[in-house]
Structure 1
């Protein structure tokens, strides 16, 4: 009887060991199917699940840096939230001949905010950005204050804006993580999302081609914005959507950004394709994007400023 009991125990133990082995092997096989995160040449980078805000990959994600024309994501968001995109705008003197990428606007030329928005987000026109800022807030300084208030409202604690276009300034900076969360908020705006996903457009007699090559090269790409200055280097914020899941990738100071974004997005979709995606511990979710509440507060602030 004792031998029979011992035999039963040994058989049960063997079965448990076998089960543990096969479960372990299955786990190893599942892990092996997912390639390790890509090695990117950027000084800093981030990859976000655009639906949940979960961080899938980060490299120096909180490192402040110049952000060049990706600044225009915030400018575009504020313009779209302000509305009246068919409103006619007269180009101010300050915007004519502004350095860097340009729509080549002429003094006293009239365009709609919509035309200027396409010129800013596709062709990266610095003159268009400044014209829009003055149209929305009355002056560049007032618009920049709204940019910084909006950044705070979105929880972008490592971001500060000094102008609406992104020309180099020590006070115009952000991080890879903050830019990713900014893009997440921007893509919730249907009008801005439609603009940044456009490959080419004809506006005010100008044919505009989007600088974001991933719109042609990467299946599912939906924008968002390129950036470059000599001091900032190459900066890219991109987004792609497949099967109802969105990814947002950011690289800062990256000489090989097109390749790196392809690798990051491929990796992200592989992660999201798993039954149970695994996220890093240091994840962060963007605050609720309540633009109506923000603009009500902005109007009160603007009115108070006029009275003082």
Structure 2
């Protein structure tokens, strides 16, 4: 009986030891699992500035790795969603370095947001990795080679975005306004119809009138040259009254036409673009993108041929009832780098602006620069934008 009791005790001891061993193993496994469930992405540059002619890349370290994928996403600002652009693979080691090479889409933006994501993983083939959590981090790529406030570039034919620098930011556009005034003049009046220069027009724009005399008149065709070449403010105001009879009626027509063209962030208050009124703050607002839509319409619509003809002239002499005027374009780039137009705009609060059109490899491209800090900056920014468009076309770069 004594031997039987001793055997029972020994069996119980073995069971207890076995249970303790299992508990220790489970704790060790749990500790190992806890150590491996947290993934990490290290070595990421939160902000990268790169020249668009170069390749942008970043080397990051993934842990645990074991052949896990690394996904690269670009944030689509318009649709507010992340777009998967590229996938990389880690090595089969526990820790792996991966060189993230950014697709060329970043070159089409002044700033672009990117997300690096390592998805959650199941146990690795190596047997060393328990299920791992996902890890992600973000970085911003900078391609700001312009000094103006906002800009955009697009092909006239398709309207796809080749370069976007805050293109939807509302700003004053000064005499780029006259592009819309010219459109409405051509759409509503014959080229032979009269545009009168009234005292009220000169009073409205003083001291920024070109020099046409009160009670003078000219044909709508000549008015296009006066507006497009020398940006004659009194002629623009007279053109508005010729179309609609009054300033208010013409402004309503301008804004309706803007909406019809998809210019939803544009508000016109006069036909010329100057800040007028007691506080000198009632000028016109738009965006680089909206002005590019208007420029694109002018360059592609058959009825706009008279506007295109006027803007391509470097100089033109016109006769009116009261004088003879030698007009010289304010577009210093006309004839350079394939430039065929379009319109300058300058005002204290608007800065120096330019909507440009140029030919490259048989196609027409639109560029808009708003808010440059000086006359020279207006042209240097536009030249840089021209050069970028050529690069983007040659390398087949678009925004998304």
Q: TM-score range by the shorter chain?
A: 0.7 to 0.9
1:142 and 2:142 matched: no
Aligned length: 248
Once residues 121 and 110 of structure 1 are traced to their aligned partners in structure 2, the CA distance between those partners, rounded to angstroms, is 17
When Rg is computed on C-alpha atoms for both structures, the one with the higher figure is 2
2:228 corresponding residue in structure 1: 121
Check the 8 A contact 1:37/1:267 in 2, yes or no. no
The Cα of 1:37 is off from its aligned counterpart by 5.6
| Pairing 1:90–2:196 present | yes
Greater RCO (CA < 8 Å, at least 6 residues apart): 1
Question: Cα deviations across residues 184-223 of structure 1 (Å, max 9, x unaligned)?
Answer: 012222111111111100112100011010104x231111
Residue matched to 2:168: 62
Q: Shift of the alpha carbon at 1:171?
A: 5.7
Which runs of 4 or more aligned residues in structure 1 lie more than 6 Å from their structure 2 counterparts after TM superposition?
none
Any stretches of 5+ residues in structure 1 without a counterpart? 1-27, 282-308
Q: Is the 8 A contact 1:38 1:263 kept in 2?
A: no
Q: Please identify which structure carries the higher strand content.
A: 2
SS in 1 for 2:334: helix
Alignment of 1:166-177 (within 5 A): 166-168=273-275, 169-170=281-282, 172-177=284-289
Q: Deviations along 1:67-88, whole A, 9 cap, x unmatched?
A: 1000111111111112311123
Q: 1:257 aligns with which of 375, 378, 383?
A: 378
Question: Which of the pair is proportionally richer in helix?
Answer: 1
Q: Decide whether the 8 Å contact of 1:101 with 1:124 is kept in 2.
A: no
Q: Which runs of 5+ in 2 are unaligned?
A: 1-100, 109-141, 276-280
**How far is 1:103 from its partner?**
2.9
**TM-score (ref. length: structure 2):** 0.59
1:206 paired to 2:325: yes
Task: Tell me the TM-score normalized by structure 1.
Answer: 0.76
Contact persistence 2:202–2:209 (CA under 8 A): no
Q: Provide the secondary structure at the position in 2 that maps to 1:177.
A: helix
Report the counterpart of residue 356 of structure 2 in structure 1.
Answer: 238
RMSD: 2.1
1:252 CA displacement: 1.0
Distance 1:170 1:110 in 2: 27
Counterpart CA distance in 2 for 1:214 and 1:207 is: 19
Cα distance change of structure 1 residues 159 and 37 upon mapping to structure 2, 3 Å threshold: same
